Structure 1
Amino acid sequence: MTTFVLVHGGWHGAWCWRRVTPLLTGHDVHCPTLTGGGDRAHLARPDTGLADHVADVVAVLELDDLRDVVLVGHSSGGAVITGVAQRCPERLRELVYLDAFVPAPGQSVFDLLPAVLRERFLGLVDGSGRIVLDWEAAMDGWALTAAADRDWVRPRLRPFPVGAVRDPLPLDPVPELPRHYIHCTVKPGGDSFAGFADAARTDPAWRFDELETGHDPMVTTPAALAAVLSAERQQIHFADAPGPLASGR
């Protein structure tokens, strides 16, 4: 049995893993909602930031006494899991970056974004310090094309605290842990994650996989994602996958 902790990205919540968790049969799966997201949207403050989100996950690890954890971060959740690794590496087995940013110590997600996208997000910050997106445009960018998927996701999205992507990680070193990058290749509006994927693909220290789907594979291809996470590629029928699963190594 593997212990998974699945950390969502911006504008999402623990709800986004709902199609994946039943497929991780026999494993211990935890899905925290970060402060200001999902069912904890009402807890957002103007100063909610990356340190709060790291603390959210560290609290789950400590209070449930989780060890040997495969820690998965989606999108901006890559910064969160990196910060968690700085805090409590002794509880972790592997870091999994799911179509995610991979910041270095002292970097923020904003540091890794193209300037035009960073300025766009800053222009969408409301008086409560949250980035408020046009949900239809956002789902287009995430390649959520199926009407049923959009209808499920739309009412669950919430504005996201800007501090989570503006605040830098501490300067503390990130311990050497096994790392796995999962790249989603369908990006109609451009791919902010291609550079991280290319670096992981060519670095023998990383495990690397690709999924031929959009930015939210937990919604669009949950069986394929569960297979990659559990490494049971031959035992799961990819009926929900729009294309082949490619494994780099």
Structure 2
Amino acid sequence: MSTFLLVHGAWHSGRAWDRVVPLLTAAGHRVFAPSLTGHGDTAHLLSPEVGLETYVDDVVSLILAEDLTEVILVGHSFAGLVVSSAANRVPDRIGHLVYLDAMVPVDGETAVDVMPITKTLLDAAAASDEPWRVPPLPELPAPHGLFGVTDPDDVAWVRSMLVDEPALAYRQPVRMDDPAADAIPRTHIHCVGLDVDGITRRPVPATQPNGSPSRIRELRSGHDCMVTVPDDLAALLLELA
């Protein structure tokens, strides 16, 4: 039995994984899919003081409270920053890092460094009545939809979980200064086939920090692959179990 910890991206909640969790548990594995502070059932805790470090605290606290080891830690989108810093804090408890169509940082970088278009979101928020709130990305014309989701019922479901993101989450830097974290194997899963103007993926180096060849998998899907192709995503994750 393996342990999966699935971390949702910006604006979403732990509900984003609702179609993937049953597939992993049916295969005999333990799965956690928490909502980060200010999201899901803790949406009322959203405040200007919530940031990347808050989210890292959420993940690390769960790992320690449940005494989890050999965790397959999956970060979707913005959560690539969250899982990177979390692994840096407790490298001895992480068995594998999975960057799921995610931001992939190096030590000291912010979300703006990894994906410069994020600054546009911060600038727009700064000009609003509540400059600390960053609203979700809007739905785009087909075939892009809402985070790559186009089915009307699915769009409505995804929209029902979205909340504003605190600007501090994009401004706080990732901490990846523990050499022990470099030994953790990594897998990168890229959603391909629906490029969005202004959003570019940082190339994955040929070699992982642990010296082994980089492991890259692809899913033909929009960004929210856990919603649109949960079976395909679960199959890739189960390869790591």
Q: Does 1:218 align with 2:226?
A: yes
Pick 1 or 2: higher relative contact order, CA cutoff 8 A, min separation 6: 2
Amino acid at match of 1:181: H
- Quote the offset at 1:3 in angstroms: 0.2
- Quote the offset at 1:188 in angstroms: 4.1
* Most deviating of 132-141 and 94-103: 132-141
Q: Matched residues in 1 for 2:93 and 2:137: separation?
A: 38
Q: Which runs of 5+ in 2 are unaligned?
A: none
Q: Which residue of 2 aligns with 1:6?
A: 6
Q: Which residue of 2 aligns with 1:143?
A: 148
Runs of 4+ in 1 over 4 A off after TM superposition: none
Amino acid at match of 2:106: A
**For residues 39-85 of structure 1, what are the alpha-carbon distances to aligned partners after superposition, in whole Å with 9 as ceiling and x for unaligned?**
21110111111110000000100000000100000001000000001
Q: Which residue of 2 aligns with 1:242?
A: none
Q: Which residue of 2 aligns with 1:245?
A: none
**For residues 77-112 of structure 1, what are the alpha-carbon distances to aligned partners after superposition, in whole Å with 9 as ceiling and x for unaligned?**
000000001100011100000000111110011111
Q: Does 1:132 align with 2:139?
A: no
CA contact (8 A) 2:146 2:155 kept: no
Amino acid at match of 1:21: V
Q: Matched residues in 1 for 2:151 and 2:196: separation?
A: 17
- Quote the offset at 1:186 in angstroms: 3.0
Amino acid at match of 1:206: S
Q: Which residue of 2 aligns with 1:186?
A: 193
* Most deviating of 141-150 and 55-64: 141-150
CA contact (8 A) 1:110 1:118 kept: yes
Q: Which residue of 1 aligns with 2:21?
A: 21
- Quote the offset at 1:129 in angstroms: 1.8
**1:159-178 to 2 correspondences below 5 Å:** 159-170=164-175, 172-173=177-178, 175-176=181-182, 177-178=184-185
Amino acid at match of 2:148: A
CA contact (8 A) 1:46 1:128 kept: no
Aligned with 1:123: secondary structure?
Answer: helix
Give TM-score, length-normalised by structure 2: 0.87
RMSD: 2.1
Q: Matched residues in 1 for 2:122 and 2:228: separation?
A: 25
**For residues 8-28 of structure 1, what are the alpha-carbon distances to aligned partners after superposition, in whole Å with 9 as ceiling and x for unaligned?**
000001000000000112100
Q: Which residue of 2 aligns with 1:119?
A: 120
CA contact (8 A) 1:144 1:214 kept: yes
Q: Which residue of 2 aligns with 1:76?
A: 78
Give TM-score, length-normalised by structure 1: 0.85
Amino acid at match of 2:149: L
Aligned with 1:194: secondary structure?
Answer: coil
Matched length: 228
- Quote the offset at 1:29 in angstroms: 0.1
